[in-house]
Amino acid sequence: MEKHSNINKSFHIQTFGCQMNEHDSETLAGMLEEIGYVENKDKKEAGVAIINTCSVRENADKRFFGILGQLKKVKEDRPDVVVAVCGCMMQQQHIIDTLKEKYPWVDLIFGTHNIHEFPRLLNNVLNERSKVVDIWENGGDIIEGLPAKRMYPFKAFVNIMYGCNNFCTYCIVPFTRGRERSRHPNEIVNEVTELVASGVKEITLLGQNVNSYGNGSDFPVDFADLIYLLNDVEGLERIRFMTSHPKDLSDKLIQAYRDCVKLCNYIHLPVQSGSSEILKRMNRKYTKEDYLLLIKKLKETVPAIAISTDIIVGFPGETEVDFGETLDLVNLVQFDSAFTFLYSIRKGTPAEKYTEQVPEAVKHERFNRLVDLLNEISAKKNKACEGLVLPVLVEGSSKTNAKTLTGRTESGKVTNFKGTPDLVGQIVPVKITEGKTFNLFGEVLP
């Protein structure tokens, strides 16, 4: 018998980090709604305040502790509020130690491997009014059938695998998300079929390295096969995926772009650096030339493909010559867009121990040069879209002007145009009238 029938059954979730984390938060919200909770936009008012953390770079760590400081005041005003923290940071012992020592008022701490246990853990906190800390070191079996409160009715994230086996030397993810485990293709196809039945038109398949989907599993389906299977789901219109590792991008997948009409002409292919020497020390297992060859194959097979990437600036030992290789690669590939990061030391990763850390000022100076070049290329590529008619999935109206709609082209470019809200959720033809650095502007065609 539950003792907490007249408690504040509202929740607020603050999410940091990647789409995997965003989707975990959708699952948390879905589970809370199943047990009668409603979302509360104000964390100061919510009965349960959750922070889903990211540990990929130091910034996210710092912001987490800042937000925790704010929640301390809420907890002092309303001791009944349940403060729960979860996500990648919780998979690191030094973070748990800090939380126990300096933030003893946090009620519930859980990790990335036991999200499905959240309702039970919450119940324990509420019933016992005591602190609960439950971190699993490894991911067990994949739990199917968890609910999700989806952010959009017409596009959805679908996890296809969990964890990462690659151990890039800068990266904390293999330590926080465990080893690779792939969902059974039937489960994925069923989930997508159900999503489509509920109105979803676009899916984004999620995994740290989707290209190694199926490795080590007992079913004979690889990532390209999965794309072919999903391309056959009736009513589905767009398939995207995130993220792929260049070392595992197969010719079969490149061929799938040609064969599968629903697979968007877009790929996010993190390169991290243009220097083969730095790539070696990052343990990326490809060279600058290997990457350029992949890009060549992709562009030959899919001439309209848009390519985005991730680049880390200032990895230990990066010289001006190495950085020049990155600028050269960017010039050769002509990325449509890129996420750029200053290298950030992560405790427990091999690169933490590398002695030749690049001074902050040098990192910043290189970073600015890189961003200027990337922006110049993005602007040029977007300008080249002027005059084209592109299908756009309308995602909503602009925050500042309700009559301005915003959506994305197949290539992932944000496009703004005038229109009525009834178009939200539809794929409409938009004639591009202006291409700027970060987005496109256009007119919807009748």
Give 20 or 32: the residue with its C-beta nearer to ligand SF4: 20
How many angstroms separate the CA atoms of 304 and 78, rounded? 55
Interacting residue with ligand 5AD among 162, 343, 367, 417 (CB under 6 A): 343
What residues make contact with ligand SF4 under the rule CB under 6 A? Answer: 164, 166-168, 171, 173-174, 208-209, 245
Give min distance, CB of 206 to ligand 5AD, in A: 13
Angle ∠(444,427,336) on CA atoms, nearest 5: 80
How many angstroms separate the CA atoms of 133 and 15, rounded? 19
Span interacting with ligand 5AD, options 338-346, 375-383, 394-402, 405-413, rule CB under 6 A: 338-346
Give 170 or 417: the residue with its C-beta nearer to ligand 5AD: 170
CA-derived radius of gyration, the chain = 23
Give min distance, CB of 310 to ligand 5AD, in A: 3
Give min distance, CB of 169 to ligand 5AD, in A: 9
How many angstroms separate the CA atoms of 166 and 10, rounded? 39
Give min distance, CB of 148 to ligand SF4, in A: 22
Give 92 or 382: the residue with its C-beta nearer to ligand SF4: 92
Interacting residue with ligand 5AD among 57, 75, 284, 366 (CB under 6 A): 57
Give min distance, CB of 395 to ligand 5AD, in A: 23
Q: Which of 322, 290, 347 is nearest to 88 (CA)?
A: 347
Angle ∠(55,61,67) on CA atoms, nearest 5: 130
Task: Let me know: does 434 contact 441? Beta carbons within 8 Å.
Answer: yes
Give 31 or 338: the residue with its C-beta nearer to ligand 5AD: 338
Residue 170 lies near ligand 5AD (rule: CB under 6 A): yes
Residue 294 lies near ligand 5AD (rule: CB under 6 A): no
Residue 341 lies near ligand 5AD (rule: CB under 6 A): yes
Give min distance, CB of 60 to ligand 5AD, in A: 10
Span interacting with ligand 5AD, options 92-100, 174-182, 245-253, 337-345, rule CB under 6 A: 337-345
Angle ∠(286,289,292) on CA atoms, nearest 5: 100
Give 167 or 438: the residue with its C-beta nearer to ligand 5AD: 167
Question: Residues 307 to 326: which contact ligand 5AD by CB under 6 A?
Answer: 310, 312
- φ, ψ (nearest 5 deg) of residue 300: -70, -40
What are the percentages of helix, strand and coil residues in the chain, rounded to 5? Answer: 40, 20, 40
Give min distance, CB of 202 to ligand SF4, in A: 23
Residue 2 tokens, joined = 């539950």
Task: Let me know: does 374 contact 335? Beta carbons within 8 Å.
Answer: yes
Burial of 94 (0-12, 13-18, 19+ CB in 10 A): exposed
Q: Are strands 202-206 and 155-159 parallel, antiparallel or unpaired?
A: parallel
Identify residue 390 by its one-letter amino acid code: L
Helix (H) or strand (E) holding 429: strand 427-435
Residue 171 lies near ligand 5AD (rule: CB under 6 A): yes
Identify residue 412 by its one-letter amino acid code: G
Q: Which does 310 bind (CB under 5 to 8 A by kind): ligand 5AD, ligand SF4, none?
A: ligand 5AD
Give min distance, CB of 168 to ligand 5AD, in A: 7
Interface residues toward ligand 5AD, by CB under 6 A: 56-57, 170-171, 270, 272, 310, 312, 341, 343-344, 346
